[in-house]
Amino acid sequence: MSHQPHIVAQLTGPQREGLVQQMFSSIAQRYDLNNTILSFGLHYRWKRMACRMAAETHPASMIDIGAGTCDLPLMIASHYPSIQRVMAVDLNASMLGIGAAKIREGKRGDQIHPCRGNAESLGFQNETFDVAMAGFCIRNVGHLDVALREIHRILKPGGRFICLEFSRPVSPVLRSLYDFYSLRILPWVGTWVAGDQTEVYRYLPASIREFPDQETLADRMRKARFSTVDYHNLSGGIVAIHRGVK
């Protein structure tokens, strides 16, 4: 890869988008395995909590933006069968193809509908969904504010946006430990497991550091016209779930 990972994390627009998609295509086959290894299995807990928050208003329709290999849609369908329709949207064909196979294997095709799409231009009509989710996706979009406005547009009045994303550890000690792990250990393990040559596992920690912290992301959501914006830190702030209401 010709770009340094920290430089890619600082890019915006189509250039960032294209490079990020190239990296994720390269690790699609080992993505789920690496998530489990690198998070010590915690990503399942984080995702379950996000799904619980998404389902607490008993929505009929939901969209998962940046669905990837479709872990969140499958978790929603398994634990909340009353949700009639879940659109699983991702720009990356390789990741979404693996997700679609998991949906078929789990016999969830009547409930979950995978489709390719861009978070900045989703292609659905105004006020279509009761809930929008994004799990570890928003950090990778080309233009964050454009994506937030687009998510607001496709939600029904009173609809919720649930954003699960890496954030800033609250404790300085935890922050130091996390920096050491994410900058030194994670890239080595992730690259070895995935057999990756694109340096995506160096891009990921760099992208976390370039991404807004909890309060800044909450402010950006308010500027995108979300109200009642709040967030919940998980694992000491390594991850946060942001929630906004249209």
Split at pLDDT 50, 70, 90, the class of 21 is confident
Identify the structural domains of the chain with CATH numbers, from first to last.
5-245 (3.40.50.150)
Which residue carries 């949207």 as its tokens? 89
For residues 6-21, give the mean pLDDT: 57
Helices (H), 68-183: 71-79, 93-105, 144-154, 172-180
Higher-scoring residue by pLDDT: 118, 194: 118
Report the predicted TM-score, pTM, of the whole model to 2 decimal places. Answer: 0.89
Helices (H), 125-171: 144-154
Give, in order, the Cα–Cα distances in Å from 207 to each of 198, 226, 244: 15, 24, 23
Split at pLDDT 50, 70, 90, the class of 27 is confident
Split at pLDDT 50, 70, 90, the class of 13 is low
The whole-number pLDDT of residue 28 equals 83
Cα–Cα distance, 46 to 148 (Å, whole number): 21
Whether the Cβ atoms of residue 164 and residue 46 lie closer than 8 Å to each other: yes
The whole-number pLDDT of residue 16 equals 62
Residue 22 predicted with pLDDT over 80? no
Residue 11 predicted with pLDDT over 60? no
